Amino acid sequence: MPLKLVQPKENRSEIVLRHLEDLLASGRFAPGAKLPTERALSVELAVPRGAVREALAVLETRGQVIRAVGSGTFVSEIASAGADVSGYEQVRVFYDASPREIMDARFVLEPRLAFLVASNATAADFSRLEETLRQGETADTYASFDAADDAFHQAIAEATHNRLVVDVYAAIGAARRRAAWGNLRRRFLTPERRIASRREHRAIFNCLTARHVVEAEAAILKHLREINTTLIEGHAPSLLTPLKEGSAE
Q: Are residues 153 and 201 in the same domain?
A: yes
- In this prediction, what percent of the chain has a pLDDT beyond 70? 78
Say yes or no: 113 and 177 in one domain.
Answer: yes
Please, what is the average pLDDT of the chain?
A: 80
Range from 14-18, 138-142, 189-193, 242-246 carrying the lowest mean pLDDT: 242-246
pLDDT given for residue 84 in this prediction: 43
Rg of the Cα atoms in the chain: 19
Least confident of 20-24, 43-47, 102-106, 112-116: 20-24
d(CA 93, CA 108) in angstroms, rounded, equals 18
Coil, strand or helix at 184: helix
Same domain, 33 and 108: no
Quick check: pTM over 0.95? no
The whole-number average pLDDT for the span 110-133 is 96
Q: Does 143 lie in the same domain as 27?
A: no
Residues 233/187, Cβ–Cβ less than 8 Å: no
Q: Is residue 89 part of a domain?
A: no
Same domain for 75 and 108, yes or no, is no
Who contacts 183 (Cβ-Cβ below 8 Å, separation ≥6)?
A: none
Q: Can you give the CATH number for the domain in which 221 is found?
A: 1.20.120.530
Q: Considering 46, 81, 116, which residue would you say is the last residue of a domain?
A: 81
Centre a 10 Å sphere on the Cβ of residue 197 and count the other Cβ atoms it contains: 20
Predicted pLDDT of residue 93: 46
Q: Identify whether residues 125 and 32 lie together within a single domain.
A: no
Domain assignment of residue 241, yes or no:
no
Do residues 105 and 141 share a domain? yes
Q: Is residue 165 part of a domain?
A: yes
Please check whether residues 42 and 140 belong to one and the same domain: no
Give how far the C-alpha of residue 60 lies from the chain's centroid of Cα atoms, to the nearest Å: 9
Of 49, 81, 113, the residue that ends a domain is 81
What CATH number does the domain containing 19 carry?
Answer: 1.10.10.10
Check whether residue 46 and residue 169 sit in a common domain.
Answer: no
Eight-class DSSP state of 3: P
Domain assignment present for residue 87? The answer is no
CB 100 within 8 A of CB 232: yes
Q: Which residues contact 169 (CB under 8 A, 6 or more apart)?
A: 109, 113, 153, 154, 157
pLDDT beyond 50 at 35: yes
Do 221 and 105 share a structural domain? yes
Give, in order, the Cα–Cα distances in Å from 118 to each of 154, 165, 209, 215: 16, 15, 8, 11
CA distance 230 to 232: 6
More confident residue, 95 or 223: 223
Eight-state DSSP code of residue 68: E
Distance CA 12, CA 47 (A): 7
Regarding predicted confidence, which is higher, 238 or 138?
138
* 239 inside domain: no
125, 201: one domain: yes
Tell me if 86 is assigned to some domain: no
Asked whether residue 91 is domain-assigned, the answer is: no
Does 199 fall in a domain?
yes
User: In this structure, how many other beta carbons lie within 10 angstroms of the beta carbon of residue 66?
Assistant: 17
Looking at the structure of the chain, the number of domains it has is: 2
Residue pLDDT, tens place only, 52-106: 988 888 787 677 888 876 778 888 866 544 444 344 444 444 556 788 888 999 9
Q: Note whether 43 and 114 are same-domain residues.
A: no
Instruction: Give the per-residue pLDDT at 95.
Output: 52
Residues linked to residue 72 through DSSP beta bridges, in sequence order: 68
Q: Is residue 56 within a helix (H) or strand (E), and if so which, with residue range?
A: helix 49-62
Range of the domain at 39: 12-81
Q: What is the pLDDT of residue 180?
A: 66
